Amino acid sequence: MYLRTVKVRNKDGSVQEYVRLVESYWDKGRSKQRVVASLGRKDLLEPHLDSLVRIVRGDQRPKSLEPEAVEPKRAYCWGPMLAARRLWEELGLESILDACESRRRGKDKARLADRALVLVANRLCEPSSEHALAEWLETDFACDRQGNRFEPRWKQQGRVRVDLAWLQRWYRTLDELISHKATVERELFLRLRTLFSLEVEMVFYDITSTFFEGNGPMQIARYGYSRDGKPRNRQVLVGMVMVDGWPIAHHVFSGNMQDQKTVVDVLKDLEERFGLKRVVFVGDRGMITTDNVEEINKRGQGYLMGLRRRRNEDVFKYIERATGEWTQCPSPNNGPNNGPRTWVQEVESDHEGVRVLVARSEEREAYEQGMRERSMDRTRLALEKLASRVQTGRIKAPAKIGEAAGRILSKNHGHRYYGWELLDGKFRFFEHPVHLKREKALEGKYLIQTEEKHITPVEAVQTYKQLTDVERGFREIKDVIDLRPVYHRRKERVEAHIFVAALAFLIDRAIEKKLKSAGVLMSAGPALQALRTIHVVDIDVAGDIKRGATAGTPQAQRVLSALAIAHTDPAKLFGTTKSPAC
C-alpha cells in the first residue's frame, strides 16, 4: 500500500489536495490499484504524514516512540446498504413512513423509517432471522439518516447470545411497520405511478406458499397444498400483485385456502384501496372459475387467464380446433428468429363473448417432450420387468398383477402413456391409444381465455408471458430473500416478516430496472455482491478517529453509476461522522 494525493477543484475555483491510502493488487495477471481509504485533506494531515508513510511501509516501532501513529481501527461492508438507502429514499419509503409515524407521534422525531430500512437491507443482503441481525450489524455499516451506526448488543441469556431487550426493539419495529402496511402500499403505488408512468391497465397476480417451523399462529397457519414440498408443515399463502414489473401489493391468506378463492379479495382491494376501477386481471391457471369470472364482470373489470390443461374437458377440444393459420409472436430478443419461437391462433369458443387463444411454444414443447420420453422410458422398463415376472411364474394371482401394474403406472405419470391387459395368464402392456395421443397434443401448448375484444392474440400471449415476472418474484422472495421458513408465532409478526421480504423484493426490482436502463448486464444479486467491495473504514490518527470509504472495484463503480450514487463517503452523504449512538 502507498499514499497518493489528488487535487480537487472547489466551486469557488480554489484547489484542495486530499490524501488517499491506495493498495496494489493483481487481477487476471495485471497490476491494478484501488483506494482503501480516503484520509482527508493534506493540509490537515501534514503533521502526521511521516507517521502515515512509516505505517504504510510496515514500520512496527512501539507506540511510545510514535505518539502520532495512524492506525486502522475498523472496517465495515457499506456498498449494499448504501444502494438500499439510495433507493429507499428515491422510492419515497422514507418520507411515507415518516408521515405515518408523525401522525402517530405528533412532534416526536420520526425514526421508524431508519429502523425499517435496517430490517429490509438485512433481508436483501444477508437473509436471516431477527436473532441473526446482530451478527450482520457486526460486519455491515447500517446507519440512520444522520450517519449514526446501529450497533448490536450482546448478552448471554441461556442459549441466546444477543441482548433480548435490544432484540425486542426490532420486534417492536416489525409491529409498527405492519400497522402501516395498507398506507405504505397505497402511497408507494401512487409514487411509482408518477415516477415511472405505470400502465395500470394490466394487473398481474399469482400466489405461492411459505411454510412454518413449528405450529405457527393458528389463525392462518394451516395444512394445504405445499409448493415447497413440505406437506407436513403448516403454511400460509402469499398472493402478489404486480404492475409493469413492480410489486404494488401483497396479501397473506390462510394456508388451506384454495388459490381461486383469493381472487375476490384481491379485486376488492384493487378497487377500494388503489382506486383501479377498470383493469385487466391477469392470472395463471387455476385462477379462472365461473364465480371469479362473474365477480370480475360484475365489477366491470376484465381478465386474461390461463386454462388448466388436464382438468378442463374443453381444452383438448380447443386444441383440436387449432387447424388454422398460426401467427408468430415477436421474440423477446427483438428478432423474429432469435431463440425459441412462439405461435398463437384464436379458435372458436363454446361460450358467447369468450375468446380462446391457443399458443404453441417451441421451448415448452422441447421441454415437455423430453420429460414425457424420460417418464415413458422409466415406466416401460418397470412394465417389462413385471411382464418378465408374470411370464416366469413369480407372480400369478391376477389381483396381485393388477396391484403391481397400478403401482407402476401411478409413478412417472405412467397412466398417461400406457395401458395393460391380462389375457390367458399373459401380461401385455401397450401405448395408450387415447391418453398418449392427448399428451402429445398438449405438449408445448397453453390456452388463454379472455373477454377483452380490443386485445390481439399476439398481445394476449405477450401479456400472459409477463406473469413470469411474478413467478420470478416469488422465487427471489423465497430463495434470494429467504422468505422461508417462518418462525414467528403471532399473526401480525408473520405478516410483518412477509412485508419486510416484499419491501426487500421491491428494492431488488428497482436495482434491476436501474441496471437495465443504464445498460449494465447484471442482475441484482451479482450487483449487490460487487457492492460488497465498498467499505467504511475508521482510522485512528493520533487519537482522532477519521472515517472514510473505499471506492470498490470497477464493477462496483459501474453499479454505483447506474444507481446514480456519486459519493460513498458517509461524511459527504450525511454531513457528519458521529460516533455510533443507536
Q: Where are the domains of the chain?
A: 182-323+343-355+449-507, 324-342+356-448
The pLDDT-based confidence of 480 (bands split at 50, 70, 90) is very low
3-state secondary structure (DSSP) of residue 460: helix
* pLDDT over threshold 90, residue 511: yes
* pLDDT over threshold 70, residue 68: no
Interval 170-196: pLDDT, tens: 999 999 999 999 999 999 999 999 888
Percent of the chain's residues with pLDDT above 90: 47
Name residue 523's amino acid: S
Question: For position 200, what pLDDT does the model report?
Answer: 81
Q: How far is CA 388 from CA 382, 384, 385, 392, 580, in A?
A: 10, 6, 5, 6, 77
What's this model's pTM, rounded to 2 decimal places?
0.77
Question: For position 50, what pLDDT does the model report?
Answer: 67
Question: For position 228, what pLDDT does the model report?
Answer: 79
Interval 25-36: pLDDT, tens: 777 767 777 777
Residues in CB range of 220: below 8 A, 6 or more apart: 236, 252, 253, 254, 255, 491, 494
Question: For position 108, what pLDDT does the model report?
Answer: 42
Q: What is the mean pLDDT of residues 215-238?
A: 89
Question: For position 4, what pLDDT does the model report?
Answer: 80
* pLDDT over threshold 70, residue 333: no
Task: Share the mean pLDDT of the chain.
Answer: 85
Helical H segments across 325-454, by residue range: 362-391, 398-410, 435-442
* pLDDT over threshold 90, residue 344: yes
Which of the listed ranges 7-16, 438-447, 571-580 does the model predict with the highest average pLDDT?
438-447
Q: Rounded to the nearest 10 degrees, what angle do helices 181-196 and 491-517 cross at?
A: 10
Q: What is the mean pLDDT of residues 70-91?
A: 89
Question: For position 18, what pLDDT does the model report?
Answer: 78
Kindly provide the b/e burial profile for residues 338-369, where b requires at least 16 CB atoms within 10 angstroms of the residue's own CB.
eeebbbbbbbebeeeeebbbbbbbeebbeebe
The pLDDT-based confidence of 52 (bands split at 50, 70, 90) is low
Please identify which residue in the block is written with the cell numbers 458521529.
578
Question: For position 433, what pLDDT does the model report?
Answer: 93
Distance from C-alpha of 499 to C-alpha of 179, rounded to nearest angstrom: 11
Interval 259-298: pLDDT, tens: 889 999 999 999 999 988 888 989 887 787 888 888 888 8
Q: What is the mean pLDDT of residues 160-178?
A: 90
* Higher pLDDT pick, 574 / 280: 280
Question: For position 130, what pLDDT does the model report?
Answer: 66
* Higher pLDDT pick, 267 / 24: 267
Please name the fold of domain 182-323+343-355+449-507: Nucleotidyltransferase; domain 5 (3.30.420)
* pLDDT over threshold 70, residue 57: no
